Structure formats: structure tokens, C-alpha cells
């Protein structure tokens, strides 16, 4: 049930977009135990002045205009170790598929409750059981 938002440069090719998308999806399945076919992603391309990051770097990491911002909203409950493995798998996968620098893969996870989703029809598919 994750919702993934991928924000990257407008200069990114269709192949790069597909590589980033696929790497995130594969890491969700292989590392975070997300069900197969649970692929909801929003990809937004931005002009250079719309991707803001510290030019001087942050926490010892330097960034380039090739930065990719990834935000994943998913159900709470995954361990710190799973999250660490997920970050690594996404960065490694994106680098392998696209050649983008691992330092330019910026990820934020948002944990929510199961009842915070509606997959359509105005229904709460994962409503708490009474």
C-alpha cells in the first residue's frame, strides 16, 4: 500500500525515470515485504530552480543537479533494520539501473496507520476489525 512520490530533474530521460521507479518498486517487494502489484507512484519532473538542496552539502554528503527526492508513505511497523536495508537497496538499485550517484538519492519515509488508506470507492479497505 505504499504511495511513492518521485521528484527529479526535467532533464531526466524516460529511461532514468523508469529505472528510478523500478528500483524503488523492487526494493519495496524484496526488502520491505510489500505485496506484488502494489505499485502506486507519482513522478514529477522539475525545472532546475524547483529542486532545492544545500549547495554546500549536508551531513558530509554533496549533491548535484541530478538529485532525486523520493518520499514513500507506507504502513507503520517496519523495523529500523528494514528501513536501513530499504534505503540501501533503493540507492544501489537506482545507481545500477541509471548510473545516478547514490549520494543524489534522497529518501523520506512516512509511516501511517492501515486505516489511513482508501484505494477507491470511498471505502476504508483496511478498516480495523471490531
pLDDT value of position 114: 87
Is the model's pLDDT at 129 over the cut of 90? no
Cα dihedral across residues 60, 2, 118, 41: positive or negative = positive
Question: pLDDT digit string (tens) for 85-106?
Answer: 999 999 999 999 999 999 999 9
Strand positions, DSSP E, the chain: 3-9, 40-46, 68-75, 105-112
pLDDT value of position 48: 92
pLDDT value of position 128: 83
> If DSSP codes are grouped into helix, strand and coil, which group holds residue 14?
helix
Round the average pLDDT of the chain to a whole number and report it: 96
pLDDT value of position 44: 98
Give residue for cell 517496519.
78
Q: Which of 13-17, 54-58, 124-128 has the lowest mean pLDDT?
A: 124-128
Cα dihedral across residues 25, 39, 86, 72: positive or negative = positive
CATH superfamily of 3-116: Macrophage Migration Inhibitory Factor (3.30.429.10)
Is the model's pLDDT at 3 over the cut of 90? yes
Question: pLDDT digit string (tens) for 21-46?
Answer: 999 999 999 999 999 999 999 999 99
Over residues 102-115, mean pLDDT: 96
Q: What is the DSSP letter of 37?
A: T
Amino acid at each position: 500500500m505504499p504511495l511513492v512520490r518521485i521528484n527529479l530533474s526535467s532533464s531526466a530521460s524516460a529511461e532514468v525515470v523508469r529505472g528510478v521507479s523500478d528500483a524503488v518498486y523492487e526494493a519495496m517487494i524484496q526488502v520491505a515485504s510489500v505485496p506484488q502489484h502494489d505499485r502506486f507512484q507519482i513522478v514529477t519532473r522539475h525545472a532546475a530552480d524547483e529542486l532545492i538542496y544545500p549547495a554546500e552539502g549536508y551531513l558530509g554528503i554533496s549533491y548535484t543537479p541530478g538529485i532525486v527526492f523520493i518520499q514513500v508513505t507506507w504502513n507503520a511497523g517496519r523495523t529500523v533494520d528494514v528501513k536501513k536495508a530499504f534505503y540501501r537497496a533503493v540507492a544501489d538499485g537506482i545507481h545500477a539501473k541509471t548510473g545516478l550517484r547514490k549520494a543524489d538519492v534522497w529518501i523520506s519515509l512516512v509511516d501511517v496507520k492501515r486505516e489511513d488508506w482508501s484505494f477507491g470507492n470511498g471505502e476504508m479497505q483496511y478498516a480495523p476489525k471490531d
